[in-house]
Amino acid sequence: MSLATLIAVAAIIGYNINPIVMAAQRIGVRTLIIAECGHAYPSLRWNPMLRSSASPFDMMYMSEYLGKQAKAGKLRLSPLQGKVTYHDPCKTGRRGGAFEEPRALFTVMRADFVEKAAHLERRAARRGEPAGPL
């Protein structure tokens, strides 16, 4: 990737992220919940322009936040009927490491959760790369 391309990418990221960060700072949020797994999550969570120990708020994906709330007993959820499984999004699970939090929701809902064996094997190896062409 050329320097010109890197500069252009940084400008685009800044253009898209700055309004979100400034609004969060203006209203004094403690946690920014990212409800989209495609590009907003990594752009916000691991953006080198935002990474510092002085960040005024935490950032996490919605399933990560809800799972933490479920583990803490802060959610009252109805039981979920039938067998369910869950596919970890590449960015939030494999790259972000948020595997247990989404599954905590199924535990709270007393769901018949079935982990896919092949999924367990792949999640350790992929580290955020897409499964195929996007």
What would you report as the CA-atom Rg of the chain, rounded to the nearest whole angstrom?
A: 17
Q: Give the range of the structural domain holding residue 51, as residue numbers without chain letter.
A: 3-126
pLDDT at 112: 93
Q: Using the predicted structure, report yes or no on whether residue 19 has a pLDDT greater than 70.
A: yes
Any domain includes 134: no
Is residue 35, in this structure, part of any structural domain at all?
yes
- Work out how many domains the chain is built from and give that number: 1
Confidence grade of residue 18 (pLDDT, cut at 50, 70, 90): confident
Residue range 78-128, pLDDT digits in tens: 998 999 988 877 777 777 778 888 899 999 999 999 988 766 555 555 544
Q: How far from 59 is each of 5, 8, 24, 55, CA to CA, in Å?
A: 27, 25, 11, 10
Tokens of 51: 């990474």
Higher pLDDT, 24 or 18: 24
Considering Cα of 61, then 63, then 64, then 66, what sign does the dihedral take?
Answer: positive
Query: Is residue 132 assigned to a domain?
Result: no
25 pLDDT more than 90: no
| pLDDT (mean) for 42-58 | 68
